[in-house]
Structure 1
């Protein structure tokens, strides 16, 4: 797909300079551009490799004449411009319109107008697929599931029965939505229950047989949600597990049964949220964050990477550490820990001094 500099600037809602009729067919780092490729130099430190005659995307305040450019687009917010630019040039998966002859679709399923169904897709009874949805090869969708318009479900994804998803859902390869929750019970009080009741003390070891609690709830997903590669969202036990509109899950994220995630949240790689926890809106969990079961996290909370959350977090708090505390508290803890060797050395010296004084006395 080729655009002109002027049309690209218009699409990005950005100001342009120079020859706006030049065609643009792609983007690259400065020094790696070719014919029709625009350079990404959105800070002066990236502009050193620009070549005479290049087209470039610059930050506001940079002068294209300083770099002998033929054309430029100015980015008031570079990463936002990157979002628009990459969207403009992303061709997406190679999916032909219509239904591939190897797809298996139940006669009761409804496929929306303009949808593309790839090879070896399996669609179950009473499934509804929205208009212009694109479903790549080897995807399976279970009975009664509803997928909204303009969805993009990539190879090997598994969407189980009883899932409801809004418009523009993106499911990356290998993701699983609607797997059973990890719910088991013992006939008598289990060692885990005894440990919690006695704050870590277990009287004696006991035989335990785990009995499955089946997952009767589904999964409800809002609009504009993205589920990363090999991520999993468990179905609820009785009520549905819910993911709010605009929320994005990175790769290898696990959302347990009955969890409620608010709108516009970011869950980064290897985040795990245990059953029945609730997240407010715009929560950001950094990579490898863990959330214990039945925890409430307020809106606008930000948790740094590897934070472990064992108790309620009020809205708007920035937290870090294991166990999670306010970020400024955790930084003070880290400073104190770095001082421990010196403090231990000083304590040893004080002990020696006190011992000598006692011996003299």
Structure 2
């Protein structure tokens, strides 16, 4: 479906310049844009690339000379990534609404809204409640008693276990698993992990008399708030007694692990390969960088930013920016890193004396 430059600018709340009635079919990078594409040249770094393509219209940065760039029309985007969010939402085709596949296996006690879509080979358990406007792809399994709010999207291969509740407009990307048992085991005598914590490793660890690990079952389920998105192959474990919780508006990337009993606040970002261990509380608007980890039974305050690869081993006050292993304040980490880089030179100078 083609859109006019004027219509796109109106949707973005941005200024349109030039031949605003010009129609475009989609978006493209500047160097590969054709005459019917809207080139995305949102910073001066993309200015030269426009000459390599054939775009007649582009989204440009404030102050750009769109006519000198060879364009017939332009949209000015003061905040590039926000414009990208609005533009891609506008251009993304809607999900196919095909009703309930005859190849889906649905328990007769499930309550499913009339307008829901359920793909082939999906399995819906007893007592499941699926709200209006939900879109469920193929090969999805939903355990007995699960509740799913209005307007949710569950992509192929999603697994929802018992005692899971989803709020409204939750998006689960392929192969997300929610509500699996937590990694929670105990031995008859104190384990080497417990002893190491008590002694800080001062005593050598020894083989226990009975090495058997006894499972602690997960009875608490998972509660996911409104407008949460969880990326492909990520997992959220069920709580032991109470539910594991993910607050409204939080976005979780691919390959993220949220452990049992964890509470994640509202509007957080958990980036790829991050992990949050059991019973930790993450505040509101926290950003956990890629490959960052948070140990168990800790508290991370509101508005904290954890740099990529950081490992948090103690509580973090609100508003801190943390980096490193173990994670320290960003300024402290940078000073330590600089000092470490200076060590070889200092040793050479010392040896010369």
Q: If the length of structure 2 is used for normalisation, what is the TM-score? A: 0.95
1:190 aligns with 2:191: yes
**Secondary structure of the structure 1 residue equivalent to 2:30:** coil
Structure 2 match to 1:274: 277
* C-alpha contact 2:33 2:55 (8 A) present in aligned 1: no
Alignment of structure 1 residues 1-361 onto 2, 5 Å: 1-51=1-51, 54-91=56-93, 93=95, 95-200=96-201, 201-202=203-204, 204-207=206-209, 208-350=211-353
| Residues in 2 aligned to 1:203 and 1:67: alpha-carbon distance in whole angstroms | 69
**Secondary structure of the structure 2 residue equivalent to 1:64:** coil
* C-alpha contact 2:143 2:161 (8 A) present in aligned 1: yes
| Residues in 1 aligned to 2:35 and 2:63: alpha-carbon distance in whole angstroms | 26
RMSD (Å) for aligned C-alpha atoms: 1.4
Report deviation, 1:223. 0.8
Greater gyration radius? 1
| Residues in 2 aligned to 1:212 and 1:243: alpha-carbon distance in whole angstroms | 24
* C-alpha contact 1:191 1:202 (8 A) present in aligned 2: no
Change (3 A) 1:260 1:31: same
Q: CA offsets per residue over residues 66-122 of structure 1, 9 Å max, x none?
A: 2232211110101000001111111255x3421011001111111123211111111
Q: CA offsets per residue over residues 294-343 of structure 1, 9 Å max, x none?
A: 01000000011110000000000001000010111111111111111122
Report deviation, 1:53. 6.6
Q: Which runs of 4+ in 1 moved over 3 A?
A: none
| Residues in 2 aligned to 1:345 and 1:92: alpha-carbon distance in whole angstroms | 64
Q: CA offsets per residue over residues 248-273 of structure 1, 9 Å max, x none?
A: 11110000000000011111111011
| Residues in 2 aligned to 1:204 and 1:97: alpha-carbon distance in whole angstroms | 60
Report deviation, 1:50. 2.5
* C-alpha contact 1:96 1:118 (8 A) present in aligned 2: no
| Residues in 2 aligned to 1:236 and 1:73: alpha-carbon distance in whole angstroms | 49
Q: If the length of structure 1 is used for normalisation, what is the TM-score? A: 0.93
Q: Which runs of 5+ in 2 are unaligned?
A: none
Q: CA offsets per residue over residues 9-62 of structure 1, 9 Å max, x none?
A: 111111111222222210001132224211111112212232577111011211
**Secondary structure of the structure 2 residue equivalent to 1:150:** coil
